[in-house]
């Protein structure tokens, strides 16, 4: 299963970079999101995957009695997901704003510093 | 001596910053500074000529071996007297020459800085401090050449001079460090004793080449000579002081100073003879084709500098005596000629030699000074120039090999130098006075006295050579490591072969002066050869270098995001890919430890793959956003399967929010653009797939490695015991790493504020744009 997951991560990275190389700003944002998803999955995979044993201590005990999934990568990914949402939201609004001002979302047409002139 | 060196710098700082309050009133007064220094150094003359070496040591940065060690011996004394003596006359001259100039004080400031630096240079016994002063002279020269900063030619010449002498300074630094490393000391006087050891070391050739590079650039030797004619764009006092009498002799000083340390090897002597010989002849021929008086003088200066290098290369006692005498001779007559040129330029407004004639009728004292300087440069007795020329012939004839060739070269050069001296010193004053110059009048005494003093001095020394013999020339020869006591200067050697050569030189020179008339036509003719001149080659090189670097910059920094991304990704793929598949830990996959595939997982993966593919090829924005949402939900399912309930919940809510935001905000945007052609897309796909494959391989490689769970185990063990929480992920976020989470909340708040204000923002400008459309 790990092999399949690794390939999937590669696909997400490739798709992310490919979209970032396009000229549309919207595609750029989608590319960044896909890349972020790929990175999250990569961290997840590298923390080793286990089925059916979430890192929650059983009701009646004060420590784990049996094997459990590594909680650390999960904490990291949770932070990453939330932060990347902040980034995405800001970027989406910014694209909207840029379009309002310069009337394009083609990156190549925004190449000069004086957009208004 | 430290005080003497610092005086120049203090004067400079004072005048550059406070000078504007005095509006040039201090000009004449500031001439007293070099005069005082001149008298101060003159007071050492008895002690130095009796063989004493005066030293002073001030620790500056002892840890680097950088100390202000000053040594006053015969060689230094001669130079300090030239610097301060001619400095005094030039300071006084400038007061009248640049009278009323807006930046007169600043000009004096630069001159003062130069004088301090030059004194420091010739007094330093420490190689590193010598380098510092060397650089300071280059910098002050830059400011002075570019003094007329509103003229483009001036600025260009200044940059060119700085580029050439500055790179020479760099070579000097390299040479100094190497030499200091080999000798184990930076003190030049200590190196003299180690001369043999240095000459046998492996780095000897390299050291000598580096020092030669420094000396040749500073003293304008072929092929680095071209900055000096350009430097004539500076006001004439600067040309007099820096570019003829003192600064350009710094290279000569360097060679003389290191003669006892590095000299008398075949490499040293041969290189100097060849370079000096080429320079003196090449530059002397160039004087024939110049019509600008300063151009003539610039090339004849280069020629004399070549002669000095040539003499140092000969290295015999006669040659070094000749060099010492010639430094004095040249300083006296060339400074005179420059000052006269300045007067002519100042009073008539032209320096074109073809337009000037008959000026003796309106400025007799200047004409006399010109005549004296011209016959001194020609080497006609009884001037000091005659003395110098005789010594040069004695030196070349005394050589064991090639004596005839060297002598002929010296004679040819001297004939041409005679011509140049006559053109500058006699031609403007003879003949008929043109009508337009009839109203020309004598300049202020501040201007005409200095050249007269120098010219008369040249005559006096010629008649009584003993004036400079014992006090200056003997100590100088002593300090370069030869026995100076055997020297005896006298004007009349009797009727001998050398006198015959002198006569030949004079005859040839007179013939040339009367037959060859400088004209613009000839100047234009030689300028057709400029394309192979070293100057054009260097300028071409620098232009090529500049266009190459701007091409390179535009290639890398082209302002296109995708090119930056492509560069970064390709670099990453190549570099990491190379290290992944090479070396001992080359890539391999161990499939034994991996978990099995189940039906659900494969289905989720399939859905996800198709969603990603759809996002990439989608033609509408909405389609792409929906595909992106599906990818998010699929990941959410993976989290559920692999025991990460918290992640699943977060991913689910965030993904939903993102899709909603996208749909809401972007509804007003234009059509989804797809502007790239097929080739671009294939290229980008190649790059992206490269990265994807690399990341997959890295992931597979890493999961083969053992994992360290120490930190995770600590959190898991203590989640309930220390933090009373059963969900370990939550405990880590809100308890163990609570501060980090607080920061995260802060970041989100800032992002939210940004989003809100961008949504609410109404710029007037934007409103206008919207109305227009």
CA distance B596 to A110: 50
Task: Please give the average per-residue pLDDT across B713-718, as a whole number.
Answer: 86
Which of B612, B688, B541 lies closest to B167 in space, CA to CA? B541
**8 Å CB contact of B595 and A2:** yes
Task: Please give the average per-residue pLDDT across A17-44, as a whole number.
Answer: 91
Residue numbers of A between 5 and 44 with CB closer than 8 Å to B: 5-24, 26-28, 30, 33-34, 37-38, 40-42, 44
**8 Å CB contact of A93 and B759:** yes
**8 Å CB contact of A2 and B560:** no
- 10 Å CB burial of residue B257 (0-12, 13-18, 19+) is buried
Q: Nearest-CA distance from A6 to chain B in Å?
A: 5
| The two three-digit tokens of residue B634, written as one number | 């699929």
- The pLDDT mean for chain A works out to 85
**8 Å CB contact of B562 and A107:** yes
Which of B312, B313, B280 lies closest to B299 in space, CA to CA? B280
Q: How would you classify residue A116: left for phi > 0, otherwise alpha for psi between -120 and 50, otherwise beta?
A: alpha
| CB < 8 Å to A85, chain B | 654, 657-658, 748
pLDDT, tens digit (0-9, with 9 covering 90-100), for B15-41: 877 766 766 666 677 888 888 889 888
Q: Is B358 helix (H, G, I), strand (E, B) or coil?
A: coil
Q: Nearest-CA distance from A65 to chain B in Å?
A: 10
Task: Please give the average per-residue pLDDT across B318-337, as a whole number.
Answer: 86
The predicted structure's pLDDT at residue B589: 66
Contact B448, B366 (CB under 8 A): yes
DSSP for B426-463, written as a single string: TGGGSSPPPGGGTT-----HHHHHHHHHHHHHHHHHHH
CA distance B436 to B423: 21
Chain A's closest residue to B694, CA to CA, is A10
- Best of A12, A65, A70 to substitute, by most chain B Cβ atoms within 10 angstroms, is A70
**8 Å CB contact of B615 and A19:** yes
Instruction: Using the predicted structure, report yes or no on whether residue B637 has a pLDDT greater than 70.
Output: yes
Chain A's closest residue to B690, CA to CA, is A14
CA distance A41 to A35: 10
- Segment holding B52, helix H or strand E: none
Q: Is B635 helix (H, G, I), strand (E, B) or coil?
A: helix
CA dihedral angle for residue B38, residue B43, residue B47, residue B52, rounded to 10 degrees: -40
| CB < 8 Å to B673, chain A | 23-24, 105-106
**8 Å CB contact of B761 and A42:** no
| Residues contacting B656, CB < 8 A, separation 6+ | B629
Question: Which domains does chain A show, CATH number per domain?
Answer: 2-53+68-110 (1.10.287.3510)
**8 Å CB contact of A72 and B761:** no
Q: What percent of chain B is modeled with pLDDT above 70?
A: 92
Which of B71, B695, B492, B276 lies closest to A9 in space, CA to CA? B695
| CB < 8 Å to A98, chain B | none
Q: What percent of chain B is modeled with pLDDT above 90?
A: 20
Residue among A62, A86, A103 minimizing CB distance to B747: A86
Contact B323, B273 (CB under 8 A): no
Instruction: Using the predicted structure, report yes or no on whether residue B341 has a pLDDT greater than 70.
Output: yes
pLDDT, tens digit (0-9, with 9 covering 90-100), for B284-323: 888 888 888 888 888 989 999 999 999 888 888 878 888 8
Q: Is B86 helix (H, G, I), strand (E, B) or coil?
A: helix
Contact B9, B123 (CB under 8 A): no
Task: Please give the average per-residue pLDDT across B735-742, as a whole number.
Answer: 92
C-alpha distance from residue B269 to each of A93, B138, B272, B388, B631 (Å): 76, 27, 5, 21, 80
**8 Å CB contact of A10 and B645:** no
DSSP for B297-324, written as a single string: HHHHHHHHHHHHHHHHHH-SHHHHHHHH
Task: Please give the average per-residue pLDDT across B260-279, as a whole number.
Answer: 88
CA distance B442 to B433: 15
Residue corresponding to tokens 């929480």: B725
Residue among B565, B632, B673 minimizing CB distance to A17: B565
pLDDT, tens digit (0-9, with 9 covering 90-100), for B403-438: 888 888 888 888 888 888 888 888 888 888 877 777
Count how many pairs of residues, chain A against chain B, have C-beta atoms within 8 Å.
282
Task: Please give the average per-residue pLDDT across B274-282, as a whole number.
Answer: 90
Whether the CB of B677 is below 8 Å from some CB of chain A: the reply is no
What are the two backbone dihedrals, phi and then psi, of residue B729, each rounded to the nearest 5 degrees? Answer: -60, -45
The predicted structure's pLDDT at residue B670: 66
Question: Which of A70-79, B103-112, B202-211 has the least mean pLDDT?
Answer: B103-112
The predicted structure's pLDDT at residue B484: 57
| CB < 8 Å to A56, chain B | 645, 726-728
As a residue count, chain B comes to 773
| CB < 8 Å to B601, chain A | 1, 4
Dmax over Cα atoms in chain B, in whole Å?
Answer: 119
**8 Å CB contact of A79 and B612:** no
Which of B610, B642, B652 lies closest to B627 in space, CA to CA? B610
Residue among A34, A40, A52 minimizing CB distance to B612: A34
Whether the model pTM is above 0.90: no
Instruction: Using the predicted structure, report yes or no on whether residue B701 has a pLDDT greater than 90.
Output: no
| CB < 8 Å to B621, chain A | 26
Chain B's closest residue to A55, CA to CA, is B728
CA distance B482 to B312: 12
Chain B's closest residue to A5, CA to CA, is B605
Question: Which of A56-65, B479-488, B574-583 has the least mean pLDDT?
Answer: B479-488
The predicted structure's pLDDT at residue A14: 95
Q: Nearest-CA distance from B543 to chain A in Å?
A: 27
**8 Å CB contact of B658 and A88:** yes
What are the two backbone dihedrals, phi and then psi, of residue A91, each rounded to the nearest 5 degrees? Answer: -65, -40
Contact B78, B328 (CB under 8 A): yes
The predicted structure's pLDDT at residue B487: 65
Instruction: Using the predicted structure, report yes or no on whether residue B768 has a pLDDT greater than 60.
Output: no
> Mean pLDDT: which of B63-72, B384-393, B729-738 is highest?
B729-738
**8 Å CB contact of A74 and B657:** no
- The pLDDT mean for chain B works out to 84
Which ipTM score applies to this complex? 0.92
Q: Is B604 helix (H, G, I), strand (E, B) or coil?
A: helix
Is it true that the peptide bond before A73 is cis, omega within 30 degrees of 0? no
| CB < 8 Å to A82, chain B | 650, 654, 744, 748
CA distance B766 to A100: 7
Which of B259, B264, B256, B302 lies closest to B283 in space, CA to CA? B302
Residue among B687, B717, B751 minimizing CB distance to A17: B687
Instruction: Using the predicted structure, report yes or no on whether residue B773 has a pLDDT greater than 60.
Output: no
| CB < 8 Å to A35, chain B | none
Residue numbers of A between 52 and 71 with CB closer than 8 Å to B: 52-59, 62-64, 68-71
At residue A39 the predicted structure's pLDDT band, cuts being 50, 70 and 90, is: very high
End-to-end CA distance of chain A: 55
The predicted structure's pLDDT at residue B772: 46
pLDDT, tens digit (0-9, with 9 covering 90-100), for B554-596: 888 877 788 888 989 999 999 988 888 776 666 666 666 667 7
Instruction: Using the predicted structure, report yes or no on whether residue B652 has a pLDDT greater than 80.
Output: yes
Task: Please give the average per-residue pLDDT across A3-29, as a whole number.
Answer: 90
CA distance B22 to B20: 5
Whether the CB of A95 is below 8 Å from some CB of chain B: the reply is yes
**8 Å CB contact of B733 and A1:** no
Chain B's closest residue to A24, CA to CA, is B673
């Amino acid at each position: 299963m790990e092999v399949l997951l690794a390939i999937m991560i590669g696909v997400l990275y490739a798709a992310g970079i490919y979209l970032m190389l396009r000229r549309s700003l919207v595609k750029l944002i989608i590319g960044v999101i896909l890349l972020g998803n790929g990175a999250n999955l990569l961290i997840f995979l590298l923390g080793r995957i286990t089925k059916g044993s979430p890192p929650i201590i059983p009701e009646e005990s004060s420590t784990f009695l049996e094997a459990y999934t590594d909680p650390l990568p999960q904490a990291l990914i949770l932070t990453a997901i939330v932060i990347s949402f902040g980034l995405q939201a800001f970027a989406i609004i910014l694209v909207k704003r840029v379009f309002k001002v310069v009337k394009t979302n083609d990156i190549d047409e925004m190449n000069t510093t004086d957009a208004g002139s | 001596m430290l005080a003497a060196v610092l005086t120049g710098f203090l004067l400079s700082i004072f005048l550059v910053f406070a000078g504007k309050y005095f509006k040039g009133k201090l000009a004449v007064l500031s001439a007293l500074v070099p005069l005082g220094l001149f008298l101060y150094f003159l007071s050492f003359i008895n002690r130095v000529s009796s063989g004493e070496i005066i030293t002073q040591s001030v620790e500056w940065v002892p840890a680097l071996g950088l100390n202000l060690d000053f040594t006053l011996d015969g060689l230094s004394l001669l130079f300090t007297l030239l610097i301060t003596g001619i400095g005094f006359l030039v300071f006084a001259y400038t007061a009248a020459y640049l009278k009323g100039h807006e930046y007169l004080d600043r000009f004096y400031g630069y001159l003062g800085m130069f004088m301090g630096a030059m004194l420091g240079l010739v007094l330093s016994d420490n190689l590193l401090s010598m380098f510092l002063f060397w650089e300071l002279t280059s910098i002050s020269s830059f400011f002075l050449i570019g003094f007329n900063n509103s003229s483009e030619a001036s600025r260009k010449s200044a940059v060119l001079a700085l580029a050439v002498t500055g790179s020479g300074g760099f070579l000097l630094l390299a040479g100094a460090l190497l030499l200091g490393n080999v000798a184990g000391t930076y003190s030049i006087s200590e190196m003299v004793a180690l001369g043999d050891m240095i000459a046998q070391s492996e780095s000897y050739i390299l050291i000598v080449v580096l020092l030669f590079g420094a000396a040749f650039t500073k003293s304008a030797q072929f092929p680095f000579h071209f900055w000096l004619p350009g430097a004539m764009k500076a006001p004439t006092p600067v040309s007099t002081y820096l570019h003829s009498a003192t600064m350009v002799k710094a290279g000569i000083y360097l060679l003389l100073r290191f003669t006892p340390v590095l000299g008398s090897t075949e490499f040293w002597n041969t290189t100097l003879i060849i370079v000096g010989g080429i320079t003196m002849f090449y530059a002397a021929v160039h004087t024939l084709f110049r019509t600008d008086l300063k151009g003539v003088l610039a090339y004849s200066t280069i020629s004399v500098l070549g002669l000095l290098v040539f003499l140092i290369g000969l290295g015999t006692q006669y040659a070094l005596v000749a060099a010492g005498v010639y430094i004095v001779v040249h300083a006296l007559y060339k400074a005179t000629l420059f000052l006269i040129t300045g007067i002519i330029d100042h009073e008539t407004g032209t320096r074109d030699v073809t337009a000037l004639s008959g000026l003796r009728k309106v400025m007799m004292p200047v004409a006399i000074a010109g005549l004296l300087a011209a016959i001194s440069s020609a080497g006609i007795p009884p001037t000091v120039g005659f003395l110098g020329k005789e010594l040069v012939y004695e030196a070349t004839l005394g050589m064991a090999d090639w004596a005839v060739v060297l002598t002929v070269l010296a004679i040819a050069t001297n004939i041409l130098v005679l011509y140049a001296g006559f053109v500058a010193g006699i031609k403007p004053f003879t003949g008929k006075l043109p009508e337009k110059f009839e109203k020309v009048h004598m300049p202020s005494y501040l201007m005409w006295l200095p050249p007269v003093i120098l010219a008369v001095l040249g005559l006096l020394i010629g008649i009584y050579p003993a004036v400079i013999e014992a006090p200056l020339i003997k100590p100088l020869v002593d300090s370069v490591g030869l026995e100076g006591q055997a020297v005896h200067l006298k004007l009349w050697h009797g009727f001998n072969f050398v006198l015959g050569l002198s006569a030949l030189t004079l005859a040839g020179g007179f013939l040339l002066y009367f037959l060859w008339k400088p004209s613009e036509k000839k100047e234009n003719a030689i300028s057709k050869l400029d394309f192979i001149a070293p100057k054009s080659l260097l300028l071409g090189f620098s232009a090529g270098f500049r266009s190459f670097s701007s091409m390179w910059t535009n290639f890398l920094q082209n302002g296109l995001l995708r090119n930056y991304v492509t560069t970064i990704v390709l670099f990453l793929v190549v570099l990491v890919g190379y290290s992944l598949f090479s070396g001992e830990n080359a890539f391999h996959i161990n499939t034994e430890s991996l978990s099995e595939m189940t039906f659900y997982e494969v289905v989720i993966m399939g859905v996800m793959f198709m969603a990603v593919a759809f996002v990439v090829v989608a033609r509408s924005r909405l389609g792409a956003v929906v595909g992106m949402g599906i990818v998010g939900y699929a990941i959410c399912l993976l989290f559920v399967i692999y025991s990460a309930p918290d992640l699943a919940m977060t991913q689910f809510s965030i993904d939903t929010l993102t899709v909603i935001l996208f749909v809401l905000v972007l509804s007003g945007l234009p059509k989804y653009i797809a502007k790239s052609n097929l080739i671009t897309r294939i290229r980008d796909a190649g790059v992206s797939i490269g990265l994807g494959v690399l990341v997959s391989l890295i992931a597979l490689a890493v999961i083969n490695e053992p994992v360290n769970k120490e930190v995770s185990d600590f959190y898991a063990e203590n989640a309930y015991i220390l933090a009373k929480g059963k969900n370990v992920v939550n405990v880590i976020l809100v308890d163990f790493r609570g501060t980090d989470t607080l920061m995260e909340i802060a970041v989100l708040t800032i992002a939210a504020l940004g989003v809100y204000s961008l949504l609410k923002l109404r710029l007037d400008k934007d409103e206008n744009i919207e109305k227009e459309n």
